[in-house]
Structure 1
Amino acid sequence: MIMNLLLIFIPISLLLEYVFKAPPLWVFITATVAIIPLADWLRKATEQVAARAGSAIGGLLNVTFGNLAELIIAIFVLLSGNITVVKAQITGSIIGNGLLGLGLAIVIGSFGRSRQKFSGQNAGQLNSMLFLVVIALMIPALFDYTERLPGFSAGSEAARTNLDEYLSLAVAIVLIVVYLLNLLYTLVTHKDAFEQEEGAHEGKLWPVWQAAAVLVGGTALIALQSEMLSGALEATSTTLGLSPFFLGIIVLAVVGNFAEYIAGSYFARQGKIGLAINIAVGATIQVALFTAPLLVLISYAIGKPMNLVFSSPLELVAIVAVALTVTTVTKDGEATWFEGVLLLTVYVLLALAFFFVTPGEQALVPNPLALTHEVVAPARAA
């Protein structure tokens, strides 16, 4: 009932943006609230699909439709030339899905249960993919650092930038191929090993066309709201005194992945912790191995080249922290509420670090996005 009442914020946000030309802060807030009930409807439609097609495909659809909204946000930010914010959003999605999303699911699912059990084999496959994420995102950064060492230098800054771009393009293609092969492995050749036994669906199933319509329509509306968020980003950051880098890595990432958070928590509450893990960790993997590489390819197509060099040490540490923490929590095939708390604690600590990482003088700069770029860029040159 409450979620349906929140749907009123969809027309409110549209009126504020396109009719009343309201201040960006109000557009940002109303669009953020509007995404919440839309994400809940995506969860409902995905549950219907999962009841018909199985939890593996249902989880994949939830992850894909959830990340589609995030992809659209990133494309709009990319078009504006804010590449650093796009990279921050990618990092924020990885840590948000793996730590915040999974942590919430475990804590909410643990109410009234001493522990929750799930497939250790499935978790092991996901954890292996997480470590591939770490390796894939570390290599471009280490390559960039190596090219700046005496005896390894490629020459001019332009030459190093070209090498970074060539490597990023090659890595992007490899990661997309590996991700598609992973889908083939888990959904086709070894489907039986990764399908979850989650019990029968409660209530009447929707017709297929209704579930499909909700998925497509909900995604389209989330994309529209996300575009409005993107447009209000810079002005909102100035009004609130927060850096666009922080808004990208925390706020935009959380909003863009809100559907997965709601779905994962709902399924965990229903005792379907295996599906919740598929959604949370699967979304993390999809962002790193598919969404980020796809953004690299799109960036060249639209003339705004972006590489995969995450040159901020804090971002790289955050990605490593996700892989280590998630693997530690899920390796034994069961979860308790305190393990969920541990995941949430790591996320809060990282969020605090990202909040304080940019200097306070940023608020004095006319274009905050320019300083965000400068804050991260020197780390590359160090």
Structure 2
Amino acid sequence: MKKYWFPSLLILTFLLSAIGHYADWNPTLQFVISAIAVIFVAGFLGKATESVSHYAGQRLGGFLNATFGNAAELIIGILLVSNGQFEIVKASITGSIIGNLLLVLGLSLFAGGLKYKIQNFNVSLAGLNGSLMILGIIALFVPAIFLNTHALQSEDKNVVSLVVAGILIVAYLLWLVFSMITHKDYLADVTEDSEEQLPHEHAPMWSKGRSIVYLIVATVMVAFVSEWLVHTLDTFTEKFGLSEIFVGAFVVAIVGNAAEHSAAIMLAMKNKIGASVEIAIGSSLQIALFVAPVLIFVSHILGRPMDIVFTVIELAAIGVSVFIAKSITQDGSTNWYEGLLLLAVYGILGVSFYLV
């Protein structure tokens, strides 16, 4: 009976959350039920990611987790773009990037570091991740600087945005070819070989096919529960007078991505830091180099063009996040105190955004 309690509570809380949302229950009750559902969905997604990682490797498993999670975010972004809510879209993109680099990675390093004194992952991968993060910063900073100094005219924003978005998408797709095909062994996680040789290593819970199916199912559940939970936040934001940029960059980003990102923390506590880093940093890179550029193109297709020019506050937040994350991960070795440093920066940004 013990092995059935988790799936039973998972289904029960998910159904209650759905009923509460569509039956329009009290927002506070909806929030509590959805928050509980997120915990169980997070556990389900973490188990599915771990099982997939056993078959596909930590990096590919983490990449799949980040991709499925960001797919839901891309859909939500397209809906916001179609409504012309560009500022919320940009704030949520900012929140996703800094949330992954500071909160998710920070909690992962901290939790994993408390259990394991030092955790290592591929140093070459760390260096390349850092370079890609800097590329994302350059792509956001350059258009903003050129336009704000009037080196480019405002009518050139759309052209610059489309060109930069196209370059980023090509760079990201080629990165996937480089990291997953041509240089797969070069970037393999340092712990995978040793894990394969451990006779006491636990076998995965499910077969390869079932693991993939469960990962997809868990991601769909994440998308629904996150949307239901975010929907209840309007009442709280109005009650406490929170600013739109704070809600987009922190509240929506934290709640909307809580389930998928908890997998990174769970994996770090099992000494699978390679998968954790891939989920946290890989998800940030995917948002900056693929999701945001795709939204630029989609906005033009829909006839409501969005530019790639972010505010100074958003650029500053992304810039400092990339700087500290690159500094901490570039040696391929982590510990709990480095995780604490990332969380400290996230706290500083959170307070600053709250008071805007």
| Fold conserved between structures, TM > 0.5 | yes
Letter in 2 for 1:56: R
Give the structure 2 partner of residue 10 of structure 1. Answer: 14
Report the counterpart of residue 377 of structure 1 in structure 2: none
Identical positions, percent: 40
Q: How does 1:165-176 map to 2 (within 5 A)?
A: 165-176=158-169
Cα gap change, 1:241 to 1:6, in 2 (>3 Å) = farther
CA contact (8 A) 2:77 2:89 kept: yes
The whole-number CA distance in structure 1 between the counterparts of 2:7 and 2:88 is 30
Q: Which moved more, 1:84-93 or 1:230-239?
A: 230-239
Task: Within 5 Å, give how 1:148-297 maps onto structure 2.
Answer: 152=151, 154=153, 160=154, 162-196=155-189, 197-198=191-192, 199-200=195-196, 202-229=202-229, 231-297=231-297
Q: Aligned partners of 1:153 and 1:327: how far apart in 2?
A: 31
Aligned-pair CA distance for 1:9: 3.1
Structure 1 segment 111-130 matched on structure 2, within 5 A: 111-130=114-133
Local SS of the residue matching 1:56: helix
Q: 1:228 to 1:205 in 2, by over 3 A?
A: closer
| Mapped partners of 1:229, 1:298: distance in 2 | 26
**SS of corresponding position for 1:192:** coil
Cα pair 1:250 1:351 within 8 Å, conserved:
yes
Shift of 1:299: 2.1
Matches within 5 A, 1:324-343: 324-343=323-342
Shift of 1:61: 0.4
Equivalent AA in structure 2 for residue 345 of structure 1: A
Deviations 1:7-45 (A, max 9, x none): 5332222222222x2344544554344333223222221
Which of 37, 46, 49 in structure 1 is aligned with 2:49?
46
Looking at structure 2, the residues matched to 144 and 8 of structure 1 have their Cα atoms a distance apart, in angstroms, of 52
Which runs of structure 2 are paired with 1:98-137 in the superposition (5 Å)?
98-137=101-140
CA deviations over 1:230-270 (Å, ceiling 9, x no partner): 54554442133222321211121122322443121111111
Aligned residues of 1:3 and 1:40 also touching (Cα < 8 A): no
Q: Which shifted more, 10-19 or 98-107?
A: 10-19
> Alignment length, in residue pairs?
345
Change over 3 Å in CA distance of 1:239–1:72 after alignment to 2 = farther
Q: Distance in 1 between matches of 2:176 and 2:330?
A: 21
Mapped pair 1:355 → 2:348: no
Name the CA distance, whole Å, in 2 between partners of 1:343 and 1:4.
36
1:16–1:219 CA distance, 2 compared to 1 (3 A): same
* DSSP-derived class of the 1:194 partner: coil
Q: CA deviation at 1:301?
A: 2.8
**Residue ranges of structure 1 left out of the alignment (5+ in a row):** 155-159, 358-382
Match of 2:301 in 1: 301
Greater relative CO, 1 or 2 (CA 8 Å, sep 6+): 2
1:67–1:287 CA contact under 8 A, matched in 2 = yes
* Matching residue's letter, 1:314: I
Determine if contact 1:109/1:269 at 8 Å carries over to the other structure: yes
User: What is the CA-CA distance between 1:112 and the residue it aligns to?
Assistant: 3.5
Give the direction of change, closer, same or farther, for the CA distance of 1:240–1:3 in structure 2 (3 Å limit): farther
Q: What is the rounded CA distance, in whole Å, between the counterparts of 2:7 and 2:305 in structure 1? A: 39
| Structure 1 residues 3 and 210, CA gap change in structure 2 (3 angstroms) | closer
Distance 1:100 1:153 in 2: 36
Alpha carbons of structure 1 residues 39 and 144: separation in structure 2 relative to 1, 3 Å: farther
Equivalent position SS for 1:191: coil
* Cα-Cα RMSD: 2.2
Q: Counterparts of 1:335 and 1:177 in 2: how far apart (Å)?
A: 31
User: Is 73-82 or 113-122 further displaced after alignment?
Assistant: 73-82
Q: CA deviation at 1:168?
A: 1.1
**Residues 235 and 305 from structure 1, CA distance in 2 versus in 1: closer, same or farther, beyond 3 angstroms?**
farther
Shift in alpha-carbon separation, 1:114–1:229, aligned structure 2, 3 A: closer
Partner of 1:321: 320
Q: How far did 1:354 drift?
A: 0.6
Name the SS of the counterpart of 1:349 in structure 2.
helix
| Alpha-carbon shift at residue 71 of structure 1 (Å) | 2.0
Q: 2:31, 2:170 → 1: CA distance? A: 36
Cα pair 1:133 1:285 within 8 Å, conserved: yes
Which whole-Å deviations, capped at 9, do the CAs of 1:262-291 have from their partners, x for residues lacking one? 121111111111221122111111110011
Contact 2:31/2:232, CA 8 A, preserved across alignment: yes
Indicate which of 71, 84, 99 corresponds to 1:81. 84
Structure 1 residues 3 and 342: alpha-carbon distance in aligned structure 2, compared to 1, 3 A threshold: farther
CA distance in 2, matches of 1:235, 1:78: 23
